[in-house]
Amino acid sequence: MTEIFGVPIQAFMGQLTIGLVNGAFYAMLSLGLAVIFGMLNIVNFAHGALYMVGAMVSWMLLKYAGINYWFALILAPIVVGLLGAIIERTMLRWLYQLDHLYGLLLTFGLALIIEGLFREAYGSSGAPYDAPDIFRGVFDLGFMFLPKYRAWVVLASAVVCLATWFVIEKTRLGAYLRAGTENPKLVQAFGINVPLLVTLTYAFGVGLAGLAGVLAAPIYQVSALMGSNIIIVVFAVVVIGGMGSIMGSILTGLALGIIEGLTKVFYPEASSTVVFIIMAIVLLIRPAGLFGREK
Amino acid sequence: MKRKLMAVVVSAALAAGMSVAQAQEGKLSDDVVKIGVLTDMSGVYADYGGPGAVAAAKMAVADFGGKMFGKEIQVVSADHQNKPDIAKNVTLQWFDRDKVDMTVENLNSGVALAVSALGKEKNKITIINGAASARLTNEDCAPATSIHYLMDTIALGNVVGKAIVKDGGDSWFFLTADYAFGHSLEKDTGDVVKAAGGKVLGAVRHPLTTEDFSSFLLQAQSSGAKIIGLANAGANTVNSIKSAAEFGITKKQSLAALLMLITDVDAVGLKTAQGLYVTEGWYWDMNAETRAWATKYEAVMKKKPNSNHASVYSATLHYLNAVKAAGTDDTAAVMKKMREMPINDMFAKGGKVREDGRMVHDMYLFQVKSPAESKAPWDYYKLKGTVKGDDAFQSLANSRCPAFKKV
């Protein structure tokens, strides 16, 4: 059998595919963070908690209201987005003129509170959430079995990521947004409601986290603590890609998922650290990140 | 600071003197029997021990009658956040300042090792329930002050390892949590598998914070082993099992969850967990006595207890009975009574505390029911076998406990 670095090529391809699936999650979460940071200059530490809320809401919808996965896919991000709008209107709004640190501290505090509330209500071990029946089973790719649900996750996240990139970089709405953050006073003078635009941006950014949460619910255990592990990695992804760079965060997310997957084969003990090693190296060589522009 | 310390010392001495004068039926060192429940109240193991363990200890006190020699028995609790340094600080304060006589539960092997060492130093009784490392009664034993009550990595490996090899599962690959507990569980189970004539084909070690286990499981899959042994716990085990089902690995290979409690089964759900082998020291639906206790527990906690909760109840009650029998809360006298008196309650029948600090009781091999077999919430297990305590736990002859060897 052909081998790559002493690993059979089939196993190698399998790990690449799995890395791609994880990368899809990283991409979607870091995209939301990048949008929020790029437009609002807020380092949103509540992102992981809101991802968890997305998963929790879809579980609660099923448990208490019998609402299935497909509706949850729409409803849960809206619920999380509304929560985000409330947070932005009532709290974050006052911090835009201050140092980044204040936004970071506020959102970090919020994350602890949100996680604490859910843990208090539902315990720490979480609950299972089943994927819809049409995703039961696996695709036989020849070199591995790929669960249908994971294939769907990659597809869904690719569509969402590209759509977001397109809206922000290629449409008029996106142009308003970018202009609004560059020079809010001037844009307002043209009759555009900048504060509303900012609220919507934050709501959209955390809505993406909520959507990632729904997508993750059938794969991982739905629990109050699910966001706290992933958020640190996602931050590293954003830093490597370049804070605020939309395409950068998408590509970096996918690439790091794959690198992490390969590390799990060659040196599994380091799989939780490899992202941070790369982050340190990138920061040394390109402090603005791979896709970021120095200001 | 010095003055404060003096005040504490003087008042403690006064209190001690007074209690001697006041004692009618028995002697209490500082006029109170106080039990400290140290556990993870908010982290990954909060459902494994947590508030349920505190409730179980309080139930034991209530069932004992609430009073010792006419004095109210007190229960205090603290959250160690799975950090041995915090655990050590809290316990030190309990022993030195708060008149705590005994600590119970102490889950998480790192915490348990720290607390047991402190109890040895301060001559206070520490009962370890939720932690599993067999080091507690071997290299790091403290037989004069510490009791390891529920299970350990050797017993877990013994029960499930032997049973599976006998069933034809003779080639193993381990998925191991990369820290002390995981390593010793992997080693102890591997030894059992090899002794029973099986083979260990390899292992992959994952960091404790891993969320996605699919890469590791693919490696386990390509090893071709019949059995994938999960030498991890809690959320790691839960996520490993889910991924294995998702990737269709369980069609050709079988999983053996080496440390899994019923609360984890509840978290995974029967649909995914069905067919798994689980080793536990207790199950709520074994007989009328266990069911009665579980009903009482459920009235407080709104869910069924796991074996850890039941063992905290049993350990607390056994301690209180020993204090009563000894007529004092003096550590050596109570430990002596705890070793002498057999444990016969809803948790264990004929359980005994051995000279090395190991509480020996029967262990059970369960298989998780399918959703169709399960008739009610928490109706999860089929009993597949009972292993006598002396067969499940390490024999005294093999003990690596230095203090015990000298005796």
Q: Is A145 on the interface with B (CB under 8 A)?
A: yes
CA A83 to chain centre: 17
* CB atoms A261 and B215 under 8 Å: yes
Cβ separation B218–A144 shorter than 8 A = yes
Query: Mean pLDDT, 10 residues at a time, over chain B (407 residues)?
Result: 52 48 63 94 86 96 94 95 92 95 93 95 96 91 95 92 89 91 91 93 88 88 92 88 87 89 90 89 96 96 94 97 94 96 96 95 94 94 93 91 67
- Is A221–B45 a contact, with Cβ atoms under 8 angstroms apart? no
Which residue in chain A has the smallest CA separation from B207?
A269
pLDDT at B321: 96
ipTM beyond cut 0.90? no
Tell which of A10, A124, A146, A215 to mutate to test the B interface (max B CBs under 10 Å).
Answer: A124
Closest CA of chain A from B205, distance in Å = 6
Å between A268 CA and nearest CA of chain B: 6
Contact A229 B264 (CB under 8 A): no
Q: Given B214, B222, B267, which is nearest A18 (Cβ)?
A: B214
User: Is the CA virtual torsion B105, B131, B376, B167 positive or negative?
Assistant: negative
| Contact of B312 with B57, CB cutoff 8 Å | yes
Q: In this structure, what DSSP letter does residue B175 have?
A: E
Range name among A98-102, A123-127, B289-293, B321-325 with the lowest pLDDT average? A123-127
Tell me the chain A residues in contact with residue B267 when contact means C-beta distances shorter than 8 Å. Answer: 125-128, 221, 223
Contacts of A145 in chain B (CB under 8 A): 247-248
Nearest residue, CB atoms, B207 vs list A11, A19, A271:
A271
Mark yes or no for CB contact B211/A229 under 8 Å.
yes
Residue A119 has pLDDT above 80, yes or no: yes
**pLDDT above 70 as % of chain A:** 97
Residue B398 CA to residue B401 CA, distance in Å, equals: 9
Report the pLDDT value the prediction gives residue A86, as an integer from 0 to 100: 96
Q: Hey, of A264, A267, A269, which one would you mutate to test binding to chain B, going by the most B CBs within 10 A of its CB?
A: A264
d(CA A287, CA A293): 10
In this structure, are residues A53 and A228 in contact, taking their beta carbons and an 8 Å threshold? no
Q: Which residues contact A239 (CB under 8 A, 6 or more apart)?
A: A279, A282, A283, A289
Q: Residue B234 has what pLDDT? A: 82
What residues contact A214, with CB distance under 8 A and at least 6 apart? A54, A55, A57, A58, A69, A72, A73, A76, A77
Q: Kindly report, residue by residue over A222-274, the tens digit of the pLDDT.
A: 988 888 878 888 999 988 988 778 888 899 999 999 999 888 888 888 888 89
Q: Look at residue B25 in the predicted model and tell me its pLDDT.
A: 60
- Which residues in chain A are closer than 8 Å to B212, comparing Cβ atoms? 18, 22, 219-220
Residues 186-225 of A with CB under 8 A from B: 219-221, 223, 225
Give how far B210 is from chain A: nearest CA, Å. Answer: 7
- The H or E element spanning position B382 is strand B381-387
- End-to-end Cα separation, chain B, in angstroms: 41
Q: What pTM did the predictor assign?
A: 0.80
Q: A222 to chain B: nearest residue by CA?
A: B267
Q: How much is the pLDDT for B18?
A: 45
Picking from A123, A219, A261, the nearest residue to B47 by CB comes out as A123
Contact A112, A97 (CB under 8 A): no
Q: Which residue has the higher pLDDT, A8 or B28?
A: B28
- The residues that bridge with B359 in the sheet, in sequence order, are B353
